[in-house]
Amino acid sequence: MSAKLSRNDPCWCGSGRKYKTCHAAFDDKIARFSEQGHIVPPHNIIKTPEQVEGIRKSAKINIAVLDYIEEHIHEGMNTAEIDRIVYDMTTQMGGIPAPLHYEGYPYSVCTSVNEQVCHGFPSEKVILKDGDIINVDCSTILNGYFSDSSRMFCIGDVSPEKKRLVEVTRECVELGLKEVRPWGFLGDMGQAVHDHAFQNGYTVVREIGGHGVGLAFHEEPWVGYNSKRGTEMLMAPGMIFTIEPMVNMGKADIYIDDDNNWEVYTEDGKPSAQWEIMVLVTEDGAEVLCW
């Protein structure tokens, strides 16, 4: 797109500014990385300041819902109750639960317990027990803008082994976040996540990763955590994506429930943990929009 613009044309981003004073230098830098053989972000995943503000407002709802869940989740609660809370709170604040009816998904939230890796179905039959760990994955649409994050919760007296898994998984996300900066690579972040998990005796799910988000529920790029520094897509200011490694206590192998084609489990039946944050690449680092 940039090759067709003269320097005095309006910028492709819609800012109304001349291209030469807006994204010309940005595009020149992207082109140099592309010429070196790197994967570079397309224009359509670079968010404008106005779009970022809309995504921030969506994220405020997402955060408020997870904050409420954190205060009220408890032993004896069934996961269908979590689904009702997410739907009611989200809609009362003017939003729409993004998972609801997404590609046929029938609920407003994902609730994944113990060996469930992700996409767990809320159910009145799934009652949280003492010693359980659960991931609550919440996503919101507000005025066409998407936000997405998840948290782990420990129910009652959780074993030291499970607590450590939850804590190390959060550390993986925090270490990955430290690698998010403009003109670095997603592989820088991915290797930081991978190395910390493996140093602690865990594995990271290969088939499912993070994703771009903001103007759609899932955008480019796909974000993996078994990657190497200096590889994967270039990170540029205006990109928004999730960091959400799924860390297994046992092997990395998973399977999908044949009955619903959604719920993902560890193949060896050992617990899995996941934290998810939504990150904006800025001019000088990163901003966490949602956790």
Do 274 and 133 form a contact (C-beta atoms < 8 A)? no
Residue 152: C-alpha distances to residues 127, 217, 236 (Å): 16, 21, 29
The span from the CA of 244 to the CA of 228, in Å, is: 17
Instruction: Identify the helix (H) or strand (E) that includes residue 246.
Output: strand 246-248
Residue 243 is encoded by which pair of tokens?
């960091």
Predicted pLDDT at 4: 73
In the block, residue with structure tokens 């029938």: 106
CA neighbor of 241 nearest in space, from 283, 286, 188: 286
Predicted pLDDT at 27: 95
Predicted pLDDT at 3: 53
Q: Is the pLDDT of residue 187 over 70?
A: yes
Mean pLDDT of the chain: 97
Residue 134 is encoded by which pair of tokens?
């659960």
Predicted pLDDT at 5: 86
Confidence of residue 2 (pLDDT cuts 50, 70, 90): very low
CB neighbours of residue 35 within 10 Å: 9
Predicted pLDDT at 268: 98
The span from the CA of 92 to the CA of 17, in Å, is: 38
Residue 191 is encoded by which pair of tokens?
């290797």
Confidence of residue 213 (pLDDT cuts 50, 70, 90): very high
Cα dihedral: 226, 232, 237, 238 (round 10): -80
pLDDT digits (tens, 9 = 90+) for 215-268: 999 999 999 999 999 999 999 999 999 999 999 999 999 999 999 999 999 999
Do 183 and 239 form a contact (C-beta atoms < 8 A)? no
CATH 3.40.50.620 for domain 42-290, yes or no, is no
CA neighbor of 227 nearest in space, from 243, 251, 249: 243
Q: Please state the φ and ψ torsions of residue 223, each to the nearest 5 degrees.
A: -120, 110
Q: What is the DSSP string of 86-137?
A: HHHHHHHTT-EETTTTGGG--SSSEEEETTEEE-PPP-TT-B--TT-EEEEE
For the entire predicted model, the pTM comes to 0.95
Hey, which residues does 241 pair with through a beta bridge? Answer: 212, 279
- Start-to-end CA distance of the chain, whole Å, equals 34
Predicted pLDDT at 1: 41
Do 277 and 244 form a contact (C-beta atoms < 8 A)? yes
The span from the CA of 193 to the CA of 247, in Å, is: 10
